[in-house]
């Protein structure tokens, strides 16, 4: 429709039909129609390589990790620690000890809020968040702020769904202790200029946590180039298992942070007179982790890197342009989030029809979208809507599926007008 | 689209587009707010109850076609009824939408919501106004949620 020649060139080597064949769940019909899965912002589907990695691990190599002297424990430990190396390479972290496995982005942020925040943020101190944060990057800070008497400052959103960077700069003061902000907005699709925002924060000696949940599957992330102090993401949003995620933390910061959960594997010695704690990353990994999830995550990162994040980014950008134009031609449709830099997420309201009704009618056409506040209620308030419908794209989505979405929206209008 | 029409029956679409008894109620003496945190839908139910009779019911708020139509039809079903009827009616309505197939005698027009039982994620849309009505009758002043 509107493919510029350079976009064609950038996506020429991207064989989406071959990729689709890697995802068994896509080969099915919903309500008698081929499944069109456009809810990747909520969670992505899994390629056979990830399913096999988890399944083979349980079938052949599973045991608890660390401390075991038997063969299976050694195999499982090697797989688990090998995955840590894999994540280190994926994020280009300087040191493998900077990679902590968590249950997901939410737990990673809670870890920083409780451990780093509990130690470094006190009465009268300030935390900077933005108006486009997911609830998981708001509530952990509110819990901390209530407990210690700190204050939260919020970077406002412009009308097109970008951050007001002048306002951001003006929020810093002598009591600012941390910036925590989203790399890519789940509700708007906005890609924030995080590298520049980290520079601004560092000029004020303020560390920065980046919530990368919506970013890692769509754009290459290099934590050293970004300069961030913490980076969090979830496995299930990058074609890996749910229940597993990562916190990257700069080593000097992690070394100084206290444990946040106590248990096995996070100690050096335990005695009733007092215990001593392991060094990072183990200090922050109490209890038996989601071992198979870690193995599946490593397989997912292998898969994504084999496809190549630069070509994924180019392909999805082309798809976003196509979808934005196609959906934008529907009368009565208003896109929420039209920032110049966007990931492949279309959030919209349509003709006064409630997003849940849109979602139910589209489901009947085999199309899976999300309807609601996307765990970003302040964003909904900012744009004066209770909820939006959201189509979010992944590596296996096609222009033909965008066309199906547009046809489906035509049926939605037919029913409710 | 015939199956989908079993959910979105003409009566539901009509009440969704043009809700009856929508707006504030001047003589109201009972109120409650209802909220569905899953979708952000909100409803306020206003009642005028006198001598144990629900003289008038009106509602305000924003929701999907199912929740708006449910609130609208509920106001019609309850107007002029003894407040003691509300509980029994809600029980029958709940049975209808959670799906044991039982259709109570009192339901009347409300049977158009039978299709909701095929869509578990939409049951809360259909019941939000009813939970809120119950809270208004109890008039305990707290916001009800569907969670």
Taking Cα atoms as reference points, which of B61, B58, B68 lies closest to residue B28? B58
Which stretch of DSSP H or E encloses residue A335?
strand A333-335
Q: What is the pLDDT of residues B98-119, one digit of tens each?
A: 877 677 778 889 999 999 988 8
Identify the closest residue of chain A to B8 by CA–CA distance: A415
Q: Which domains does chain A have, with CATH numbers?
A: 5-47+308-416 (3.90.1150.10), 51-306 (3.40.640.10)
Residues of A in contact with B63 (CB under 8 A): 354
Cross-chain residue pair A415–B42, CB shorter than 8 Å? no
Neighbour tally for A81: CB within 10 Å: 14
Cross-chain residue pair A356–B122, CB shorter than 8 Å? yes
pLDDT attached to residue B144 = 73
Cα-based distances in Å from A415 to A92, B5, B12: 50, 9, 11
Mean pLDDT, all residues of chain A: 95
The class of domain B2-138 in CATH terms is alpha beta
Is a pLDDT exceeding 70 seen at residue A2?
no
Identify the closest residue of chain B to A365 by CA–CA distance: B1
Q: Give me the catalytic one of A148, A375, A377, A406.
A: A375
Q: What is the pLDDT of residues A338-348, one digit of tens each?
A: 999 999 999 99
Taking Cα atoms as reference points, which of A19, A17, A8 lies closest to residue A314? A8
Is the reported ipTM for this assembly greater than 0.90? Answer: no
Q: What is the pLDDT of residues B65-81, one digit of tens each?
A: 999 999 999 999 999 99
Cα-based distances in Å from A30 to A23, A25, A368: 16, 11, 9
Rounded Cα distance between A380 and A213, Å, is 19
Per domain, the residue ranges of chain B are 2-138
Query: Which residue among B13, B16, B122 places its CB closest to the CB of A360?
Result: B122
Rounded Cα distance between A32 and A29, Å, is 5
Residues of A in contact with B60 (CB under 8 A): none
**Interchain contact A361–B (C-beta under 8 A):** yes
**Interchain contact A407–B (C-beta under 8 A):** no
pLDDT attached to residue B134 = 93
* Residues A233, A105 contacting (CB under 8 angstroms): yes
Mean pLDDT of A216-225: 98
Is a pLDDT exceeding 70 seen at residue B1?
no
| Closest-CA distance of chain A to residue B22, Å | 17
* A228 has catalytic annotation: no
Q: What stretches of A90-212 adopt beta strand conformation (E)?
A: 99-102, 126-130, 151-155, 176-182, 208-211
Q: Is A125 helix (H, G, I), strand (E, B) or coil?
A: coil
């Amino acid at each position: 429709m509107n493919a510029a020649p350079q976009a064609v060139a950038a996506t020429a080597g991207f064989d989406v039909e071959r990729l689709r064949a890697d995802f068994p769940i896509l080969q099915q019909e919903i309500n008698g129609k081929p499944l069109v899965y456009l809810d990747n912002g909520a969670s992505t589907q899994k390629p056979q390589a990830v399913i096999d990695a988890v399944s083979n691990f349980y079938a052949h190599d599973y045991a608890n990790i660390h401390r075991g002297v038997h063969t299976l424990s050694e195999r499982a430990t090697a797989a688990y620690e090998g995955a840590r190396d894999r994540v280190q390479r994926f994020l280009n972290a300087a040191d493998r000890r900077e990679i902590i496995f968590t249950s997901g982005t939410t737990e990673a942020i809670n870890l920083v809020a409780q451990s780093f925040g509990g130690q470094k943020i006190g009465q009268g101190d300030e935390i900077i968040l933005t108006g486009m944060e997911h609830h998981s990057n708001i509530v952990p800070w509110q819990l901390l702020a209530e407990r210690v008497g700190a204050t939260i400052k919020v970077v406002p959103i412009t009308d097109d769904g970008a951050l007001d960077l002048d306002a951001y700069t003006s929020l810093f003061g002598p009591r600012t202790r941390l910036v925590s902000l989203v790399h890519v907005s789940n509700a708007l699709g906005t890609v924030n200029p995080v590298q520049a925002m980290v520079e601004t924060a560092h000029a004020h000696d303020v560390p920065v946590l980046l919530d990368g949940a919506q970013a890692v599957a769509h754009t290459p992330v290099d934590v050293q180039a970004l300069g961030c102090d913490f980076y969090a993401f979830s496995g299930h949003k990058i074609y890996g298992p749910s229940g597993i995620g990562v916190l990257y933390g700069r080593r000097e910061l992690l070394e100084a942070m206290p444990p946040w959960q106590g248990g096995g594997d996070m100690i050096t010695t335990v005695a009733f007179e007092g215990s001593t704690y392991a060094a990072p990353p183990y200090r922050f990994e109490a209890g038996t982790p989601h071992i198979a999830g870690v193995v599946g995550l490593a397989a997912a990162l292998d898969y994504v890197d084999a496809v190549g994040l630069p070509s994924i980014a180019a392909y999805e950008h082309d798809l976003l342009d196509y979808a934005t134009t196609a959906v934008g031609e529907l009368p009565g449709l208003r896109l929420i989030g039209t920032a110049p830099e966007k990931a492949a997420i279309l959030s919209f309201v349509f003709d006064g029809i409630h997003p849940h009704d849109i979602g139910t009618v589209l489901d009947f056409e085999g199309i899976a979208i999300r309807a609601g506040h996307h765990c970003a209620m302040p964003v909904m308030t900012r744009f004066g809507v209770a909820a939006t419908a959201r189509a979010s794209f992944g590596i296996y989505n096609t222009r033909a599926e965008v066309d199906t979405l547009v046809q489906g929206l035509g049926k939605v209008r037919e029913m409710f007008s | 689209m015939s199956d989908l029409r079993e959910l979105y029956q003409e009566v539901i679409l009509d009440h969704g587009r043009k809700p009856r008894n929508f707006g504030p109620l001047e003589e109201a003496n009972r109120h409650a707010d209802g909220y569905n945190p899953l979708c952000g839908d909100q409803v306020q139910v206003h009642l005028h109850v006198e001598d144990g009779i629900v003289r008038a019911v009106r509602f305000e708020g924003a929701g999907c076609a199912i929740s708006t139509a449910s609130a609208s039809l509920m106001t019609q079903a309850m107007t002029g009824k003894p407040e003691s009827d509300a509980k029994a009616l809600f029980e029958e309505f709940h049975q209808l939408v959670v799906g044991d197939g039982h259709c109570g005698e009192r339901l009347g027009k409300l049977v158009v919501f039978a299709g909701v039982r095929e869509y578990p994620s939409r049951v809360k849309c259909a019941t939000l106004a009813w939970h809120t009505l119950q809270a208004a009758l109890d008039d305990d002043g707290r916001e009800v949620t569907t969670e």
